[in-house]
Amino acid sequence: MKIVYVLLFACISCSRSGENVSDVRPEKMEKDSVIVKSHIDTNALTLETRYLCPEGFERVKVDSLSYGAYLRSLKLKNFSHPVMLWNGNPKPSQWMSCGVIDQELDPLNLQQCADAVMRFRGEYLFGIGAFDKISFNFVSDNKPHSLTSYTSERSYVAFRKYMRYVFNGANTSSLKNQLQPVQHIREIQPGDVFVQSGNPYGHAVTVMDVAVNTEGKKYFLLAQSYMPAQETHLLINPEYPEFSPWYEAKDGRIITPEWEFNSTDLRRFK
């Protein structure tokens, strides 16, 4: 079954949950036509300052040393910066991005969707010195492979080598098995992950931030990498452009530009 959504005079074709979402939007669609300017400060260079809360909402409180605080503090490239692929070419479909994480990307086709999720988590733990907690399950044995078992070094260079090792051994299936299910989407937190494991492909995106109003209603931001490996970028909301780039935390389907999730796909690092 195919479902078609219309977004500001252009359309995308979305397939069933767990399948790739086909992009038929004109390749040269301008970003300004698919974002709500009142929700974005295009001059700001951090996640927290660029993405403004919807009216009546405020960001959920997080501890200053928490994973959520780390994600909020991430630096972004200039708003006009295109999403680049691992080989130095721009991603063909730029309309879906409203910001690129300022993070070095290896010139290898490795850091795809689940890898970007694990990179965020690994970078955070490395930054706070929690080396013994940096560990990710592998597909081959569904067992954790830790930084401390990989190397005795504690340099950033050694950490990046370890992450390439992880990218080669892990995928959406092993990531999903490692994460703990979140009982209900209303419990969503920054750092949570929407993940589906598929055959042959799945997808995973990171919840970058969460906003809440006095009634407890929540909105969240999403970031992804994809195939082939590409810079991690913030996603617009193609289904409800009036809230974009924020997504509403509600039961049911969550339509992102390149994938369809369900609210029950939400998981969390333990």
- pTM: predicted TM-score of the whole model, two decimal places: 0.88
How many angstroms separate the CA atoms of 188 and 218, rounded?
A: 8
- Judge whether 51 and 40 are in contact, CB under 8 Å: yes
pLDDT class for 35, splitting at 50, 70, 90? low
How many angstroms separate the CA atoms of 187 and 166, rounded?
A: 29
What pLDDT sits at residue 23?
A: 39
Encode 165-203: b = buried (16+ Cβ within 10 Å), e = exposed. Answer: bbbeebbbbbbbebbeebeebeebbbbbbbbbbeeebbb
What pLDDT sits at residue 265?
A: 98
The DSSP H or E segment spanning 26 is none
What are the boundaries of each domain within the chain? 3-102+180-268
What pLDDT sits at residue 22?
A: 38
- Of 22-26, 117-121, 146-150, 239-243, where does mean pLDDT reach its minimum? 22-26
pLDDT tens string 81-99: 999 999 999 999 999 999 9
Q: Where are the beta strands (DSSP E) in the chain?
A: 3-7, 10-14, 58-59, 97-100, 135-137, 144-146, 180-181, 193-196, 203-212, 218-224, 233-235, 247-248, 253-256, 259-262, 266-268
Rounded to 10 deg, the angle between the 156-169 and 113-127 helix axes is 150
Residue 124 has pLDDT above 90, yes or no: yes
pLDDT class for 36, splitting at 50, 70, 90? low
Cα 30 to Cα 11, 98, 100, 173, distances in angstroms? 14, 11, 16, 35
Portion of the chain with pLDDT greater than 70, in percent: 86
How many angstroms separate the CA atoms of 220 and 74, rounded?
A: 16
Q: Given the structure tokens 């799945």, which residue do they identify?
A: 202
Give the mean pLDDT of 88-112: 97
pLDDT tens string 202-249: 999 999 999 999 999 999 999 999 999 999 999 999 999 999 999 999
How many angstroms separate the CA atoms of 6 and 238, rounded?
A: 8
What pLDDT sits at residue 9?
A: 25
What pLDDT sits at residue 25?
A: 40
Give the mean pLDDT of 256-261: 97
Residue 154 has pLDDT above 60, yes or no: yes
Residue 188 has pLDDT above 70, yes or no: yes
Amino acid at 189: Q
Using alpha carbons, select from 155, 246, 234 the residue that is nearest to residue 254: 246
The 8-class DSSP code of residue 27 comes to T
